């Protein structure tokens, strides 16, 4: 079965500290992985993606993610958190089943709270 | 450039009533999706479309119908609303199914409450 797991419902960090939001996946074949962010009462916004190539992917707003095939993980990271980074973060993987077209399978989301 | 526009943004229904959510995109995207977002459950795919005139079921299609009569519009219908359909609904679109092209553009969401 194809799935995405975000093991933490909430991550709390202090402003200026590094942050990590965890994601593991289960798919058949090579994964296409994504991170999205949702601010309150807004739609999801794309942050970054891994398709192939370098395992360290850089995205918007200073975020990056590390793809680890052996651990089937795609953790989101940022060296120095900002209060404005507080939001709901979703990890997603492309659904490789033919009948689902190009739809994404989303994790349950992780709430990031950055304190000043 | 409006992107993906959803209407209405809020709606309250009584059990058994029907309604239609409209999604419109102005990016000439081929693929469109309807997701629902529920607390602690992430986003789940309801229906999707890979082009004008096509629709297909996603993970949670029961109780919903869709139509894609025009490329830019994707309608989600509830024929007989139930409290279990209380949710936030998101429409999304993407240009094509090419590998790496799955950067979905999302609308702002439609919050539906069924009493």
> What integer best gives the mean pLDDT of chain B?
93
pLDDT at residue B70 is higher than 60: yes
pLDDT at residue B102 is higher than 70: no
Per-residue pLDDT of B106-115, as tens digits, reads 999 999 999 9
Q: Which residues of B touch A108 (CB under 8 A)?
A: 40-42
Per-residue pLDDT of A94-105, as tens digits, reads 887 755 557 889
Confidence at residue A18, expressed as pLDDT on a 0 to 100 scale: 97
- B37 CB neighbour count, 10 Å cutoff: 21
Confidence bin at B13 (pLDDT 50/70/90) = very high
Distance CA A9, CA B107 (A): 24
Q: CB contacts < 8 Å between A and B, how many?
A: 70
DSSP for A44-102, written as a single string: EEEEEEE-SS-SEEE-GGG-EEEEETTTTEEEEEESS--GGG-EEEEEEEE--SGGGTT
DSSP-derived pairing of the beta strands A87-94 and A110-115: antiparallel
Residue carrying the six token digits 């890979």? B50
Q: Which residues of A touch B107 (CB under 8 A)?
A: 43
Closest CA to B81 of B5, B20, B10, B7: B20
Confidence at residue A53, expressed as pLDDT on a 0 to 100 scale: 86
Chain A residues with CB under 8 Å of a chain B CB are 9, 32, 34, 36, 41-46, 49, 51-52, 90, 94-95, 99-109
- Mean pLDDT of the region B88-101: 82
- A29 CB neighbour count, 10 Å cutoff: 8
Per-residue pLDDT of A17-69, as tens digits, reads 999 999 999 988 888 999 999 998 888 999 999 988 899 999 999 999 999 99
Confidence at residue B26, expressed as pLDDT on a 0 to 100 scale: 95
Q: What is the DSSP letter of B15?
A: T
Per-residue pLDDT of B39-49, as tens digits, reads 888 899 999 99
Confidence at residue A40, expressed as pLDDT on a 0 to 100 scale: 87
Confidence at residue A74, expressed as pLDDT on a 0 to 100 scale: 97
């Amino acid at each position: 079965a194809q799935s995405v797991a975000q093991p933490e419902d909430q991550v709390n960090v202090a402003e200026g500290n590094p942050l990590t939001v965890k994601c593991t996946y289960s798919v058949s074949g090579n994964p296409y992985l994504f991170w999205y962010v949702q601010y309150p009462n807004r739609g999801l916004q794309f942050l970054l993606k891994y398709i192939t190539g370098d395992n360290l992917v850089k995205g918007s707003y200073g975020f990056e993610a590390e793809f680890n095939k052996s651990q089937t993980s795609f953790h989101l990271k940022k060296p120095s958190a900002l209060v404005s980074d507080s939001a709901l973060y979703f990890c997603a993987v492309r659904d490789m089943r033919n009948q689902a077209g190009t739809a994404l399978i989303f994790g349950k989301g992780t709430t990031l709270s950055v304190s000043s | 450039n409006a992107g993906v526009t959803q209407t209405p943004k809020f709606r309250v229904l009584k059990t058994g009533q029907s309604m239609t959510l409209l999604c419109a995109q102005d990016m000439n995207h081929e693929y469109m999706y309807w997701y629902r977002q529920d607390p602690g459950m992430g986003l789940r795919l309801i229906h999707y479309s890979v082009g004008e005139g096509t629709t297909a079921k996603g993970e949670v299609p029961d109780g919903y119908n869709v139509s894609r009569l025009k490329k830019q519009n994707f309608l989600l219908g509830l024929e007989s609303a139930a409290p279990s359909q209380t949710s936030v609904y998101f429409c999304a679109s993407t240009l094509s199914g090419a590998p790496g092209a799955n950067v979905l553009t999302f609308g702002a969401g439609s919050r539906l409450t069924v009493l």
